[in-house]
Amino acid sequence: MTDDIFHGASELESRAIRELIGFAMDAPAKANSGHSGTAMALAPLGVMLWSRVLRHDPTDPQWSDRDRFILSCGHASILQYSLAHIFGYDVSVEDLEEFRQLLSKTPGHPEAGHTPTVEVTTGPLGQGIANGVGMAIAERVLRSSYGEDLVDHRTWVIAGDGCLEEGVSHEAASLAGSLGLERLTVFYDDNHITIDGPTELALHDNPAERFAAYGWHVINLGERANDLDALERATHEAINETTRPTLIIIRSHIGFPSPVIMDTKEAHGTPLSAAAITQVRQILGMPDTSFHDDPELTSSLVESLKTRRDERLSWEARVRAAGEKGVALLTQLQTNGAAVITKDAEKFDGATMVPTRKAMQRAMDVFAPQTSGLTAGSADLTENTGVILKQSLQQNHATPDGRQIHYGIREFAMSASMVGEALHGGLRPVGSTFFVFSDYARPAIRLAALSGASVLFVYTHDSVGVGEDGPTHEPVEQLMSLRAMPRLHVVRPTDANETLDLVHQYLTDPHPPTTALVLSRQDMLVLKDDDAAASLAGARKGGYVLREDEQAVFTLVATGSEMGPCLEACDQLRAQGVITRVVAMPCWRCFEAQPLEYRQGVFRSSLPSVSLEAGATIGWYKYVDHAIGIDSFGLSAPGKEVFAHFNINANSVVEHVQDVLGGVK
């Protein structure tokens, strides 16, 4: 039996589509919040993909060789939750009834790690496409390492008009075409409606020509959103494409089949009225019951996926038969390719001057060959930022095992792609650019932190020490801005050897936090003797006492390159008979995770204190009485002159201590 409305649908698929449309109407209506229209229109696509094409098994949701499904237009989250429910994942009708409610399993937008089948956190439009690029990269790298017998899956993304309008989708699509990611397919839901009204208000692009120019294979299905056989044929055409990613364009009608809201802007974010919902149920021949749940539907759909379950069992058998290779794959997946370091990096000589970005390159030289999951690259600044993988090939279609990724001048897409790589499992991506350009990447950094993705963002040229490039290239507010982001570890090492140790920590941790490693372009003092020992003992705690003295009358605090002037000030004051102690704060969030007693010992509150950092001072007053920094934009001049202009030096610290202590000379 086939369906007259949903062409080519089997009787089981027809029931599934109707149930899904019902949930898509009922959940937002009950919540009085949410987006019904897109989920209603894409119900046939979702059911076709999950029933006929997607490689998945509800009895083992985390099967590592499953296909990855990403709903880039995350406002249509009820589509994914409903699909998860009817296909037997741990999402109940009660969960659907709690759509968008406090602490429910069905939040307003998909959140990674929160709801079964949700691979990445989506909502901010366009990033899901870039996440898909990263997942396709991860699959390719792992497949090249372990072979198609053990790694053989695809990435499927559903995106809408808003996704394609956002700039990150342009960056990501260009990157995907350049890399020839043949196992990436994006469905473009071309429904011609945005919140303000018709897309023609602001959009006159030709997406088929645009994506073809990016190097994609483009299939324009036209008015086939309800034709399951046509949709399936398009997916198989995409699967048979072996050199390019594929865009499948589908002209859908938002809110279908409601005569009230179809093809209107109200379908985008306004829940349907009770009368409109009843009318749709009548059109579909459904019982007029809220959250109608066919008791036999899920079991029948799960049973229909038996061939997928057999594929999983066969895969498990192949992994066992692969012996050491199979064990290595499972270990890499479980640890995200953590480093197993048997050879450490050579330390830099104490009392020398070394920029911390050079320490990053030394870390890559030594640790990269010992880190099975590492990929590394930059936004066109590979040599500048110290992420050259000297023993790896460039990642592209011709060398699919390459770990060196040239992301091009695409900071946003690079960062969002790395989120996809990390959340795929098995990889720990490192991506880099100049620190000031973290502004281009900030939305992806935020979603990385929100989703707990183990990504290492490497940012060099960390301050006004950039010098002659001037205020456009001199980060001032970026440190504090990123420190304000929940879950993100912002790390500004004290010297080159501390950088080596912190990179070592990140690469060996099976599940490291999302981290921004902020490194200098300018030379920095390498600590020696007792100072070096204090760094080694305390840096991983985020804040530590670099120099202690029970007779101290003042605490001096610094991060990064400002530690040199801080230590100089300590020595000058001692020569004047003023004893101070010195605290380093490479990572505030790590420090805040330490026991209260430890933190109190680092900042002896009974003593006056001052911080020195070449950036915005807001935030420092949580720790110190006074902050010396830069609360304006920078200047174009040699770096040392810019530091001097803003009083980022030992003299300013000495003068402040003298003033506070009453003019002690």
Residues forming the active site: 411
CA distance linking residue 453 with residue 256, whole number of Å? 36
Here the tokens at position 512 are: 């490291």
Alpha carbons 568 and 574: distance in angstroms, whole number: 10
Please state, in angstroms and rounded to a whole number, the distance separating the CA atoms of residues 587 and 581.
19
Residue type, 160: G
Which SS3 state, helix, strand or coil, does residue 428 take? strand
Q: Measuring CA to CA, which residue among 172, 165, 161, 191 is closest to residue 245? A: 172
CA nearest to 429, candidates 507, 489, 527: 507
Kindly give, in sequence order, each residue whose CB lies less than 8 Å from that of residue 240, ignoring residues fewer than 6 positions away. Answer: none
Burial of 647 (0-12, 13-18, 19+ CB in 10 A): middle
What are the structure tokens assigned to 271, written together? 């829940």
DSSP result, 525-569: BPP-HHHHHHHHHHGGGS-EEEE--TT--EEEEE-GGGHHHHHHH
Residue 264 is encoded by which pair of tokens?
A: 């209107």
- Answer whether 37's CB lies under 8 Å from 268's CB: yes
Residue 245 · residue 182 · CB < 8 Å: yes
125, HSE (Cβ side, Cα atoms, 13 Å): 15
